[in-house]
Structure 1
Amino acid sequence: MAFLKRLGWYLVGLSIGLIFLVFFLKKKSGEEGIDFCYFPNCRVLKDMRSKTLTFSESLPEEYKDTLLIQSFLEDGNVDFGKSDTKSEPCKTYFISHEQNGKELELQAKNCKEEVVIESIN
């Protein structure tokens, strides 16, 4: 009898856990999905995506394309060796991304309220 009682409690706990898991995974894969950024690259890019974009005056007109910049901020790789992450008030990041078979590098200043796009090479 003790075994059946323990099995019953086990199944109750298992079913409650499965219900929570289903709701959590559904929310993660839904429209407003939860985004888990544990790695530094992901955290920096997510922070930069949440701010307004400003283009530097020295940036050529052909690179003042928000879709191009968004592709950098979605799929780019931050080069922390070249980046200046300790400067104040704005940190400077170098983000590389392959676009149309060419490797491009974006230099951006991440300030508190905005992201200033400095150059694309």
Structure 2
Amino acid sequence: MKFYQRLAYYLVGLVMGAFVVALVLSGKDTRCNYFPNSRVLNDLRNKPFNYSIEASRKLSEDWIDTVDIKNTLTYGDVDFDKSNISYQNGKLYIIEGQTVQKDTITLRVINYPNKAVLEDIIRKK
């Protein structure tokens, strides 16, 4: 068998395989969270999310909005040196992110087995 025939068989198989994989994965809400940062943020986003009194007070101020919280829970960085500490029957996570105005913020989130609570929002200048 000549090279171009082998190449043609390879490409036909590759296209058919890619089609099957795309067909299987297209209808599902598939996520590939292999790294610890992605796993923690995904877990926090998928639970019912509540706000403490202190966090609600800071959200009423003009410098931060719930959009900033959602963006931080999607694109933020978990500080594992200060996080994953047992705290009030849950685990405390420190997440660093940015607001829309490019202010650096730090979220203190408690991850309970059935919910997540935003404990505090810290603004860094």
- State the superposition RMSD in angstroms: 3.0
Query: Aligned pairs, how many?
Result: 116
Match of 2:109 in 1: 108
SS in structure 1 at match of 2:73:
helix
Q: Structure 1: where are the runs of 5+ without partners? A: none
Q: Distance in 2 between matches of 1:31 and 1:105?
A: 35
Is the deviation greater in 13-22 or in 32-41? Answer: 13-22
Task: For 2:33, give the aligned amino acid.
Answer: C
Is the deviation greater in 65-74 or in 105-114? Answer: 65-74
SS in structure 2 at match of 1:87:
strand
Task: Determine whether 1:78 maps to 2:78.
Answer: yes
1:15-70 deviation line (CA, Å, top 9, x unaligned): 33422223434776x68553211111111101111101111122243426542321
Moved over 6 A (4+): 7-10
Task: For 2:34, give the aligned amino acid.
Answer: Y
Task: For 1:87, give the aligned amino acid.
Answer: S
Instruction: Give the TM-score of the pair, scaled to structure 1.
Output: 0.75
SS in structure 1 at match of 2:119:
strand
Q: Structure 2: where are the runs of 5+ without partners? A: none
Answer whether contact 2:76 2:97 (CA < 8 A) is retained.
yes
Q: Are residues 33 and 91 of structure 1, via their aligned partners in 2, closer, same or farther at CA, if it must alter by over 3 Å?
A: same
1:96-121 deviation line (CA, Å, top 9, x unaligned): 01211211000000111110000000
**1:86 Cα offset (Å):** 4.7
Match of 1:46 in 2: 42
Task: Determine whether 1:20 maps to 2:21.
Answer: no
Task: Determine whether 1:87 maps to 2:83.
Answer: no
